[in-house]
Amino acid sequence: MPDELHTVPGTELTEPNPSTSLVGGLGKMWRDVQRYQYLIANFVRRDLRVKYRNSLLGYFWSLLDPLLLSGVFVVLFTIVAGKPQKLYPLWVTIGVLSWGYFGTILQQSIASLTGNEGTINSIYFPRCLFGIASASSNLVMTSMNLLVAVPFMLYFKILPTGYLLMVPLGLILLGMLALGAGLALACLEAVNRDVGHLATIVVRAGLYLSPVLWTVEMAQAKGGAINYLLLNPAAVPMTMIRNGITGHKLPISPGQIAWSVACCVVTFVVGAMIFQRFEARVIKKL
Amino acid sequence: MSRTTIKLENVTLEFPRRRVTLEPFGRSLMNLLRGGRRRTKDTFTALDQVSLDVKEGEVVGIIGRNGAGKSTLLRIIAGIYKPDRGSAKTLTHPVLLAGFGVGFNVNLSGHENAYLYGSILGHPRPVIHKLLDGIIDFSGLEDFMDQPLRTYSSGMRARLGFSVATAVQPEILLLDEALGVGDQEFRKRSSERIRSMLKQAHTVVIASHSFGTLQQVCTRAILVDKGKLAYRGTLKDVTAAYNGNPPEPANMKPPQDAE
């Protein structure tokens, strides 16, 4: 297999890092991802190897943290609101994992330029690959972590249903929302580091404003102003993941689903366009 | 008639003077949206209207004082920075050799790092797979390749980085002061390898303070001074200009008219 990038002479002079229009950015990102698949794969491989360095035990450690957090939440809920429904521990565990997935992608992609300064200043390759690679790594890791639901399902005798297909869909929508926002903010972060700190607070607040401790069904039962929380675009994909595993249909109106899906897709498209447009000119501010 | 492989036209690059902007957030945002092209006192002109044509077969030396813009010029050619004004184009994707082992992860083994670093340099996994024996051979680290990188000494890391970075012969080679790494024996072998790469590369641009090395390899040279292309010609003339006595000041061609 020839190494075409550096050894096959082109026929005309080209810019190594061509400019894109705001609209053309998305197409360029798509071509970059295809051309540099091997690099994304190697970044993902690195992230997984480093994360699960001690083989099986490494994987269990990565489960223990969300499980402990869920345990604390279940205890708190019991103290504050009385005995929860029997599936509540499973709901919280899935909620913690999916919100953790969102927050990690958001924070890693915001730091994708500032955190890779050394590489960026030595070698050129499309910089969107940093964010895309960390989103891919987190998708793999979260999928593996969601296997923690299996013992719950065995215990509660929940059989897998067709709703299970909502899980990958929810993960992809949630990932698009986080990556889109993160890519757009990565350019700002390079100019002004306040953005990263702000994101930490948003992720922390979102733990309560998104359906982690509560479910959409609970919010609907409560009614009133709390329903505005369902405007949070993360609510629908997170409920997709949760109800996909427990085998329930989405308790949400089609209008709200459409709103949330549109938010995720638009955020991703706009974020990718902004990143592609401004990435080159913020690099020198690193 | 040899082809032009690197073409810089009136490249200007300005850096913000302060790393952390204290100006209000809104203003830095507006400046970004305007493209950061506002010329203010806050910017430092790293490259000023630099034009350069490099043809196939040339080995061009860049001479200049610290901070004159040599590395920045190489980064422009490599595509790391984008010119604020003007354009920088190349025929093939260039390879910039400056600091080896970028993106190494200390928790991964030597093998894994070779693949990772190789892919960062633009070589797919099968390419590195084919070159791996040669890489291990050259680095002399065959007994350590399964050990995590954190157990390597800094010299060993540099050897691995160098061996991976120089395993593929590029068409366009950009060198930044990197002519040898590691201990005495490896330094000798690595300089030899660089020399042979210089011979085989179709186009080379090399920034160095070592006039002895430049003397042996360069077909011509340029002098960069405060971001401007101050002089171009044979290495001897450019060195003289660097030392403050250009040979024929009267005949010195303004850079834009050369070629």
pLDDT of the residue at B110? 95
pLDDT of the residue at A280? 87
pLDDT of the residue at B35? 59
Q: Is B22 on the interface with A (CB under 8 A)?
A: no
Of B36, B102, B116, the CB nearest to A42: B116
Residue B116 in any domain: the answer is yes
Compute the mean pLDDT over every residue in chain B, rounded to the nearest whole number: 85
pLDDT of the residue at B257? 45
pLDDT tens digits along B79-121: 999 999 999 999 988 999 887 888 899 999 999 999 999 999 9
Which amino acid, A50?
V
> Which helix (H) or strand (E) is B6 found in, with range?
strand B4-16
Q: Are residues B90 and B212 in the same domain?
A: yes
- The larger pLDDT score, comparing residue A249 to residue A224, is at A249
Note whether B168 contacts A42, CB cutoff 8 Å: no
Q: Which residues of A touch B13 (CB under 8 A)?
A: 284
Q: Which of A38, A125, A185 would best serve as a mutation to test chain B binding (most B beta carbons within 10 A)?
A: A38
| CATH value at residue B127 | 1.10.8
Question: Could you tell me the pTM of the whole model?
Answer: 0.89
| CATH value at residue B79 | 3.40.50.300
- Residue that finishes a domain, picked among B169, B193, B225: B169
Distance CA B128, CA A62 (A): 32
Say whether pLDDT at A240 is over 70.
yes
- Residue that finishes a domain, picked among B109, B144, B169: B169
The residues spanned by each domain of chain A are: 20-285
Of A7, A41, A53, the CB nearest to B107: A53
Over its C-alpha atoms, chain B yields an Rg (Å, rounded) of: 20
Q: Are residues B148 and B229 in the same domain?
A: no
Distance CA B37, CA B198 (A): 37
Q: Above pLDDT 70, what percent of chain A? A: 96
Give the CA count within 13 Å in the CB-facing half-sphere of B8: 30
Q: Are residues B102 and B67 in the same domain?
A: no
Q: Are residues B44 and B121 in the same domain?
A: no
Q: Which chain A residue shows the shortest CA-CA distance from B20?
A: A192
Q: Which residues of A touch B7 (CB under 8 A)?
A: 13
Say whether pLDDT at B135 is over 50.
yes
* Boundaries of domain holding B36: 4-94+208-257
Of A13, A121, A280, the CB nearest to B90: A13
Phi-psi region at A157: left, alpha or beta (left = phi > 0; alpha = psi -120 to 50) = left
Residue B135 in any domain: the answer is yes
Say whether pLDDT at B248 is over 80.
no
pLDDT of the residue at B259? 42
Closest CA to A143 of A163, A122, A169, A106: A169
CA angle B178, A113, A174 (to 5 degrees): 145
Q: Using CB atoms and an 8 Å cut-off, which of residues 88-127 of chain A contact chain B?
A: 118-125
pLDDT of the residue at B26? 65
- Residue that finishes a domain, picked among B114, B148, B169: B169
SS3 assignment, position B137: helix
Residue B181 in any domain: the answer is no
Distance CA B101, CA B194 (A): 16
User: Mind spelling out the 3-state secondary structure of chain A?
Assistant: CCCHHHHCCCCCCECCCCCCCCCHHHHHHHHHHHHCHHHHHHHHHHHHHHHCCCHHHHHHHHHHHHHHHHHHHHHHHHHHHCCCCCCHHHHHHHHHHHHHHHHHHHHHHHCCCHHHHHHHCCCCCCCHHHHHHHHHHHHHHHHHHHHHHHHHHHHHCCCCCHHHHHHHHHHHHHHHHHHHHHHHHHHHHHHCCHHHHHHHHHHHHHHHHCCCCCCHHHHHHHCHHHHHHHHCCCHHHHHHHHHHHHCCCCCCCHHHHHHHHHHHHHHHHHHHHHHHHHHHHHHHHC
pLDDT tens digits along B153-169: 999 999 999 999 999 98
Note whether A41 contacts B7, CB cutoff 8 Å: no
Average pLDDT on A205-211 reads 94
pLDDT confidence bin for A238, thresholds 50/70/90: very high
Residue B178 in any domain: the answer is no
Say whether pLDDT at B38 is over 80.
no
Give the CA count within 13 Å in the CB-facing half-sphere of B173: 29
Closest CA to B38 of B25, B48, B46, B28: B28
pLDDT confidence bin for B250, thresholds 50/70/90: very low
Of A9, A118, A123, the CB nearest to B96: A123
Which DSSP string corresponds to B75-104? HHHHTSS--SEEEEEESS--EEE-SS-TT-
Domain count, chain B: 2
Note whether A19 contacts B102, CB cutoff 8 Å: no
pLDDT tens digits along A33-76: 999 999 999 999 999 988 887 667 778 888 898 999 999 999 99
Say whether pLDDT at A8 is over 70.
no
A82-86, A186-190, A237-241, B245-249: which range is least confident on average? B245-249
Phi-psi region at A273: left, alpha or beta (left = phi > 0; alpha = psi -120 to 50) = alpha
pLDDT of the residue at A99? 97
Residue B190 in any domain: the answer is no
pLDDT confidence bin for A32, thresholds 50/70/90: very high
Say whether pLDDT at B50 is over 90.
yes
Distance CA A217, CA A211 (A): 10
Residue B159 in any domain: the answer is yes
Q: Is A191 on the interface with B (CB under 8 A)?
A: yes
pLDDT tens digits along B143-202: 999 999 999 999 999 999 999 999 998 889 999 875 667 788 888 898 889 888 888 888
Q: How many CB atoms lie within 10 A of CB B84?
A: 20
Q: Are residues B77 and B132 in the same domain?
A: no
Q: Are residues B12 and B90 in the same domain?
A: yes
pLDDT of the residue at A2? 43
- The larger pLDDT score, comparing residue B23 to residue A245, is at A245
pLDDT of the residue at B15? 87
Q: Is B25 on the interface with A (CB under 8 A)?
A: yes
pLDDT of the residue at A37? 94
pLDDT tens digits along A114-131: 999 999 998 999 999 999
pLDDT tens digits along A97-113: 999 999 999 999 999 99
Closest CA to B176 of B78, B44, B252, B39: B78
Average pLDDT on A158-186 reads 96
Average pLDDT on A174-187 reads 97
Backbone angles phi, psi at A172, to 5 degrees: -70, -45
Distance CA A6, CA A56 (A): 40
Residue B48 in any domain: the answer is yes
pLDDT tens digits along A250-279: 999 999 999 999 999 999 999 999 999 999
Distance CA A264, CA A173 (A): 6
pLDDT tens digits along B58-83: 999 999 998 899 999 999 999 999 99
> Which helix (H) or strand (E) is B19 found in, with range?
none
